Structure 1
Amino acid sequence: MAIQEGFIEVTGGKVWYQYHDSNSKKTPVIILHGGPGSSHYSLQGLRVLADERPVLFYDQLGCGKSDRPNDESLWTIDRFVEELGQIRKALSLDDMHILGHSWGTTLAAAYLLTIPEGVKSVIFSSPCLSAPLWAEDQERNRSLLPEDIQATLRECEQNGTTDSEEYQEATTEFNKRFVCRLDPFPEFLKQGAQYKNPVVYNIMWGPSEFHVTGNLKNFDCTARLNEIHIPALYTCGRYDEATPQSTEYFSKLTPKAKFHVFENSAHMPYIEEEAEFLKVIRAFLNSVE
């Protein structure tokens, strides 16, 4: 299998990409990672999909192996949508499937609503398609935490000390329940922290998964999901911060959508239930090919 790697010039700098070419005639799938400001790092296991079709990873500008320009005006959803179009053009991806995870689903939906040609299907993995609804879901999730943890979170948010060690420790308790339930937490994931850019995350999202203060806080495309007419698969974990209730709600607003819950996962079923995740993704992609 040929692996092509390099950089693509986009608005604001250079973006790193890696293309796994399986010499298959099947349509490539492009992976849109989460964040904002994370990287493809945690999703790299999806490269095994390249035994059936080409797989494209890239690190969005500002994180991973891509440039990290010090220009806060770049961190908007419209620029990331533009970036995706520039990557697609540079690599001549006339036809493709999209697999977005978490913030990657926000980006996927915003891109699809520009009505691009040649996108054959979309996978919304643990979707965030309404920041206000996400915030409501996290309020409910927070209420399930021990009372002392809830109190610490509230106090730090009210006092503006969300960069404190106690806030980070309380956030870790949330993450153990609703982000990744593997215990011990995989060393592999700890090593990926270096690829994240907290500046991008803070500007666009906020200090934590559940305290939304950034420029995405009013993002909500639910009223336009009926405009997505390509086959769509919505997935989430049973304990996901992208809750099964909201994920199913989004799927019902999308004309050609399927819905699947990974019963033993939180927000990272592609790691928590890797074999099952790959099986479901493969089946969907092959069914719409």
Structure 2
Amino acid sequence: MTSTHSQRIECKFGTFPLQRTITTSPKQNQPRLCIAYRILHPSLLNNTAPEQADSAQPAPLLVVHGGPSLPSEYLTPLANHINNRPIIFYDQLGCGWSSIPRQKEWYGVTEMSHDLEELIQHLKEVWKIQSFHMLGHSLGGAIGYEYLKLQTTKNNLDERRDVHRCLSFILSNASTNLALSSSEQRRLFQEFQLQQLQTSMPSFNNQQLQKKRGSIEDVFFHAHICRTMNKPAELELALSRRGMEWSANKYCATPPPLVQNVLSDGANTNATTAKSVASTYSMNRFPPVLLIRGQYDFVTEICTRGWFEIFTDGIQEVVLDDCAHYPHFEQPESYSYQIEKFCANAESAS
């Protein structure tokens, strides 16, 4: 399926200043940084006071992009198929319309999760957003998870306002171990190379086919990254505008500290009790979770199975046929349907 041009959709732009600093620069030399965001379908926002809010109004979907530093514009076609709720996109520090500081100390999954926390607080104060769903694509899944985990460590969760207002969390094509997903991509490429060599025939027709399809990297991209007939224009543009280079390959998702301590305390807790405590903790602290990935994604099942150990209860999984890493381009109707159904069910249960 080829990508279609985005429809003309109502959009509101905004920015807000970041409040964090880095220790390698004196206080007086800290740059002024901002995060840029867009709200699509803003007229659907329920921005009344909580006591006047219409509980039937769909909550906005907050989208956390991947990369690192791949601007959020590659995800905006979601709004073509999810049009009954507002969708919020933002550019993480280092790309797109947000600030791009050059020091590497500004960048990392944990740092980005703190920025996400500031964005959510800004959306509440300025746009009166009382609740939301969150979708993290690829690296964005790790950032979204670290934000939620950060909220579980607060002394007074009610005081933090946000974690109970995240109605659902969608992990799209997201690995718990980013070094592992990079390794899986290399493994699949090597197997793909071998397969192409074994099946290639020195015939005129096959040479013409290879010329038409491009290099082996292009063919692999079509097989395991984005299975559209042509590379989507929105994705090409985002790739051409990739921002500050930084690596997230050291990231590996771990359970919140309390769950980790219980699971590792073999002297005082047996396995059944530890699992029960972890399950209770997960249910009390995290919203419902949907794991969605593509059948041919380089983020394979081995890269995502760790989420089931973290979200010990309440996690669902959907594997989309004939999809790889960008299902919102490859199977946009099916992908949007799964997201909207999950969000609607979470709202009904809240």
| Largest Rg, 1 or 2 | 2
4+ long deviations beyond 6 Å: none
Q: Does 1:8 align with 2:24?
A: no
- Identity over the aligned pairs, expressed in percent? 23
Q: Tell me the alpha carbon deviations over residues 197-223 of structure 1, each in whole angstroms, 9 at most, x when there is no partner.
A: 1x32xx22xxxxxxxxxxx32321144
Q: Distance in 1 between matches of 2:254 and 2:297?
A: 19
What TM-score, normalized to structure 2? Answer: 0.67
Q: Distance in 1 between matches of 2:189 and 2:132?
A: 38
- Which residue identity lines up with residue 297 of structure 2 in the other structure? D
What is the aligned residue count? 257
* Cross-structure match for 2:233: 187
Map 1:224-239 to 2 at 5 A.
Answer: 224=256, 227=282, 229-239=286-296
- Which residue identity lines up with residue 242 of structure 2 in the other structure? K
Q: Does 1:57 align with 2:89?
A: yes
Q: Does 1:141 align with 2:180?
A: no
SS of alignment partner, residue 191 of structure 2: coil
Q: Tell me the alpha carbon deviations over residues 63-105 of structure 1, each in whole angstroms, 9 at most, x when there is no partner.
A: 1121222222111222211111111111114421110100100
Which of 95, 104, 113 aligns to 2:131? It is 95
Which of 216, 229, 250 aligns to 1:218? It is 250
* Cross-structure match for 2:37: 17
- Which residue identity lines up with residue 332 of structure 2 in the other structure? E
Map 1:1-289 to 2 at 5 A.
Answer: 3-10=11-18, 11=20, 13-20=33-40, 21=42, 22-23=44-45, 25-48=57-80, 51-92=83-124, 93-115=129-151, 116-117=162-163, 118-147=165-194, 171-197=217-243, 199-200=244-245, 203-204=246-247, 216-224=248-256, 227=282, 229-248=286-305, 250-251=307-308, 253-254=310-311, 255-289=313-347
Alignment CA distance shift 1:187-1:49 (3 Å): closer
Q: Distance in 2 between matches of 1:102 and 1:178?
A: 14
Alignment CA distance shift 1:273-1:252 (3 Å): farther
SS of alignment partner, residue 235 of structure 2: helix
Gaps of 5+ in 1: 151-168, 205-215
Asked whether the equivalents of residues 30 and 56 of structure 1 are also in contact (C-alpha less than 8 Å), the reply is yes
Asked whether the equivalents of residues 125 and 235 of structure 1 are also in contact (C-alpha less than 8 Å), the reply is yes
Alignment CA distance shift 1:144-1:218 (3 Å): same
Alignment CA distance shift 1:79-1:245 (3 Å): closer
Alignment CA distance shift 1:222-1:278 (3 Å): same
**What displacement does 1:7 show?**
1.2
What TM-score, normalized to structure 1? Answer: 0.80
Q: Distance in 2 between matches of 1:148 and 1:248?
A: 27
Alignment CA distance shift 1:230-1:23 (3 Å): closer
Alignment CA distance shift 1:5-1:54 (3 Å): same
- Which residue identity lines up with residue 139 of structure 2 in the other structure? W
Alignment CA distance shift 1:138-1:3 (3 Å): closer
- Which residue identity lines up with residue 16 of structure 1 in the other structure? A
Asked whether the equivalents of residues 238 and 244 of structure 1 are also in contact (C-alpha less than 8 Å), the reply is no
Gaps of 5+ in 2: 1-8, 21-31, 47-56, 152-161, 198-214, 260-277
SS of alignment partner, residue 238 of structure 2: helix
Q: Distance in 2 between matches of 1:2 and 1:170?
A: 40
Calculate the aligned-residue CA RMSD, in Å: 2.6
> Larger relative contact order (C-alpha < 8 A, sep ≥ 6)?
2
